[in-house]
Amino acid sequence: MARSQLYLYTIVVLLLILFYFVSNLDLLDKEFQFYSDTYPQYGEIYKLLYGNDIFENILNLYGSTLIPFTVYYNCSYNIIQVPNYFNSTHVIVVDNVYNVLPSYASNNFVVFKIIDNYSISSSSTGYCIFNGYEVYNPYFNNQFEGTGNLPYYVVFYPQSIFTINDNYLNNLYNLEENVIFQYLNNYKCIAGEIKSLSVQKILNGISVNFLNISNAQLNNNIISVNITNNDICPIDLNKIYYDNYNIPSFGNNFNTSSNSYLIYPGQQIVGYYQYNNDDLYFCLESLGNEICTPINNLSIQYYVPITLYNSQPIPTPEPFQQDIAICNGTINIGNNFAYVNNIILFNQINSNGQNVMFFNPNNGQLFYSWYEGQLVNGNTYCDVWWVNIPNGIPANGNFVIYMAIGSYNTNYYSQYYTYVGAPIQVLGTSQYDNGNYVFNYYQNFGNLSSLPPNWAYVCGNQYSVSFSTNYTIIPPTTSMGL
């Protein structure tokens, strides 16, 4: 009995070591060779665990067309913009073992976030090299979020383009002889098995298309949300992006009522996620798709849709700044001033604009907005904001944003800065001045000890300039030497 217990203990310890090694895949070749040579049976288990990751990633791209590419880029960049080989918005980027990276596409280019893993190598010349795939699937539907940094150059390999379909998967079923992968439930799930050890592992899906989310509530900066798995395969929440393409860390900023990151077919759990104060919806994203539900108990009394029209035959810049004003009457100061005449709405707004914010109704993402203050035109008063629209508006198109209005004393400046802000002229302090997030060029002259970058003295005595918490005083000069 003691010998049997010792053998069992040894097996458990070795398996735990193997699981630890799987998390360090950059040492894969050496570790794999060591376990295959020294402990053949455990080497097979190791191959199964490694194959689990790759085969799961491949399966989740079923029906997609992939083209491999290489990017040479500045190592300080982590968000890269590359040409869109497929000329479609239904494109994402994966690394060289098919892990889905945070990415979004326009017809002309794809932007993706580089996650530091073994898909990246460094050159002796100081640049970094990324190897991965652009992936097209008509079911991918991500929200475009702006541009990225341009690399030095990009190489596509059109001779190696391929599609993940039944034929492709059937040719992958056998990995390293004794490790057999079979596809279950019409290619929605797969199972791996080592014939000699009769070890089987079901691979978990990561598609949000089979999830239902509802009843999101915010308490003590934690979002609780009901999550139901409507699929016939288990789904791994630990590989699904939350809150603008962040992967949650189970047990850190993410937990569940079942104390597991797996949701089994037909199961409903409550997920608990750390709130990041940048959106009004709870969203999960994977494989270029997104599902969202509003956070129900936020301090918002009114949701006001506002449609922005571009009547020009060319698209607006990306980003661009739109003025939005709520007035208690009509004004006549030209066609370039956009305003809404609604005295009832005007009376709900705090005099310093603190209870108003703007967001994207598709996913609840907040727009950066800067409250300029009140415009007085005769007997008419207008509250004026500038809103940063990151993706612009197409030629002869329109775009709907939402204004959220809280109770009169709600202070969104303290809750949602840097997305919501106002200058010292409004608040008497520069604490919530977020103009640099809204405008392409903006300088706050508070809390400085010297002139900011790109500013220079051109006349007068620079030693007469004084700096304080909220402003900088530059005294006038009597002569400019002209």
Same-domain pairing of 173 and 39: yes
Q: Is the pLDDT of residue 430 over 70?
A: yes
Span of 112-121, 142-151, 308-317, 424-433 with lowest mean pLDDT: 112-121
What is residue 224's predicted lDDT score, i.e. its pLDDT?
A: 96
Question: Any bridge partners for residue 107, and if so which?
Answer: none
Query: Is 152 inside a domain boundary?
Result: yes
Q: Check if the beta carbon of residue 393 is closer than 8 Å to that of residue 316.
A: yes
Q: Greater confidence, 449 or 167? A: 167
What is residue 289's predicted lDDT score, i.e. its pLDDT?
A: 80
Helix (H) or strand (E) holding 166: helix 166-170
Same-domain pairing of 313 and 431: yes
- Classify strands 109-113 and 79-83 as parallel, antiparallel or unpaired: antiparallel
Query: Is 111 inside a domain boundary?
Result: yes
Q: Provide the number of structural domains found in the chain.
A: 4
What is residue 144's predicted lDDT score, i.e. its pLDDT?
A: 63
Residues with Cβ < 8 Å from 215, sequence gap 6 or more?
Answer: 225, 226, 293, 296
Tokens of 80: 């890269």
Span of 61-75, 239-253, 294-308, 446-460 with lowest mean pLDDT: 446-460
What is residue 225's predicted lDDT score, i.e. its pLDDT?
A: 97
Query: Is 393 inside a domain boundary?
Result: yes
Burial class (CB in 10 A: 0-12, 13-18, 19+), 104: buried
Q: Greater confidence, 244 or 336? A: 336
Same-domain pairing of 322 and 400: yes
331 backbone dihedrals φ, ψ, rounded to 5°: -135, 165
What is residue 17's predicted lDDT score, i.e. its pLDDT?
A: 30
What is residue 480's predicted lDDT score, i.e. its pLDDT?
A: 44
Q: Is the pLDDT of residue 279 over 50?
A: yes
Please, which pLDDT band fits residue 334 given cuts at 50, 70 and 90? confident
* Percent of the chain predicted with pLDDT > 90: 41
Query: Is 343 inside a domain boundary?
Result: yes
Q: Is the pLDDT of residue 40 over 70?
A: no
Same-domain pairing of 278 and 384: no
Please, which pLDDT band fits residue 53 given cuts at 50, 70 and 90? low
What is residue 49's predicted lDDT score, i.e. its pLDDT?
A: 52
Can you say how many angstroms the Cα of residue 229 is from the centroid of all Cα atoms in its chain?
23
Indicate whether this model's pTM tops 0.75: no
Same-domain pairing of 403 and 313: yes
**Quick one: which of 353, 357, 363 has its CA closest to 306?**
357
Query: Is 270 inside a domain boundary?
Result: yes
Q: What is the DSSP string of 31-82?
A: HHHHHHHH-HHHHHHHHHHHHHHHHHHHHTTTT-EEEEEEEEEETT--EEEE
Q: Check if the beta carbon of residue 374 is closer than 8 Å to that of residue 329.
A: no
Query: Is 461 inside a domain boundary?
Result: no
Q: Is the pLDDT of residue 33 over 60?
A: no
| 138-185 pLDDT per residue, tens | 988 776 666 788 999 999 999 999 998 877 876 665 544 555 555 555
Same-domain pairing of 335 and 402: yes
The whole domain housing 227 covers 208-294
Please, which pLDDT band fits residue 21 given cuts at 50, 70 and 90? very low
| 201-253 pLDDT per residue, tens | 555 677 788 899 999 999 999 999 999 998 877 888 988 888 766 777 888 88
Count helices and strands (H / E) in the chain: 8, 33
What is residue 200's predicted lDDT score, i.e. its pLDDT?
A: 54
Tokens of 391: 């993706």
Same-domain pairing of 47 and 196: yes
What is residue 429's predicted lDDT score, i.e. its pLDDT?
A: 87
Same-domain pairing of 190 and 227: no
Please, which pLDDT band fits residue 189 given cuts at 50, 70 and 90? low
Range 80-108 average pLDDT: 90
Same-domain pairing of 78 and 223: no
Same-domain pairing of 244 and 326: no
Question: Any bridge partners for residue 113, and if so which?
Answer: 79
Query: Is 481 inside a domain boundary?
Result: no
Q: Greater confidence, 109 or 41? A: 109
196 backbone dihedrals φ, ψ, rounded to 5°: -70, -25
Span of 59-73, 112-126, 332-346, 408-422 with lowest mean pLDDT: 112-126
Same-domain pairing of 226 and 363: no
Query: Is 133 inside a domain boundary?
Result: yes
Q: Is the pLDDT of residue 199 over 60?
A: no
End-of-domain residue from the set 265, 294, 323: 294
End-of-domain residue from the set 294, 328, 363: 294
Could you give the C-alpha distances from 357 to 130, 341, 392, 478, in angstroms and in order?
39, 18, 19, 44
Q: Greater confidence, 411 or 42? A: 411
Same-domain pairing of 189 and 101: no
- Dist. CA 325–CA 343, nearest whole Å: 12
Four-point Cα dihedral 140, 145, 148, 154, nearest 10: 20
CATH number at residue 390: 2.60.40
Span of 14-28, 218-232, 249-263, 303-317 with lowest mean pLDDT: 14-28
3-state SS assignment for residue 324 = strand
Residues with Cβ < 8 Å from 161, sequence gap 6 or more?
Answer: 65, 66, 67
204 backbone dihedrals φ, ψ, rounded to 5°: -90, 140
Q: Is the pLDDT of residue 48 over 90?
A: no
